[in-house]
Amino acid sequence: MPRARVLATCAVAISALTASMPPAVADGPSATDLMVRKINDLRRAHGLRPLIVSRSLTRSASAFSRELMREDRFGHDARIEASGGFRRLGEVLAFHTGRAPAVALTLRAWASSPEHRAILLSSRFRSIGLGRTSGRFHGYRATIWVGQLGHR
């Protein structure tokens, strides 16, 4: 069989195979999307309405998680810096070793802490923003989560 014909036959076979394959599926929800879903599942289990993702809270939570990692510190500031005209704000922080998001581990830690659980299950909050940063913290691979909740 001439070379051009072999190449043409192969090209037809490949395009027939790829045409019958399902389209590529996205990687799925991000870790922060999954965390929001799990927090809202927890809230629903306690008869509370789900939180709505706020872009301004997401920006400020993400910026704060990066700041904590960059400055090699872990803790709340005296005041939550969030834009968007929120009248009431709450914040939850989590830290774990490794760079994996560890969504289930982080949510269990928050739900097991009376202070964090009270914030996540407060009916006063309507919005949420999450930030997650992975990097080197005190010389170790680590991940820092920041959740900021608000009510306008």
Residues 6+ apart with CB under 8 A from 85: 152
pLDDT for the residue 82 = 80
Kind and range of the H or E run holding 54: none
* Tens of pLDDT, residues 34-93: 999 999 999 999 999 999 999 999 999 999 999 999 999 999 998 888 877 899 999 999
Closest CA to 74 of 97, 57, 58: 97
DSSP 86: -
pLDDT for the residue 29 = 75
pTM of the model: 0.79
pLDDT for the residue 134 = 96
Task: Give me the amino acid identity at 41.
Answer: D
* Secondary structure class of 47 (helix, strand, coil): coil
Is the pLDDT confidence value at 10 over 50? no
d(CA 96, CA 102): 8
Task: Give me the amino acid identity at 85.
Answer: G
* CA distance to 2, 22, 23, 44, per residue, from 131 (Å): 59, 33, 31, 22
Task: Give me the amino acid identity at 150.
Answer: G
Check the CA dihedral 43-37-61-100 and report its sign.
Answer: positive
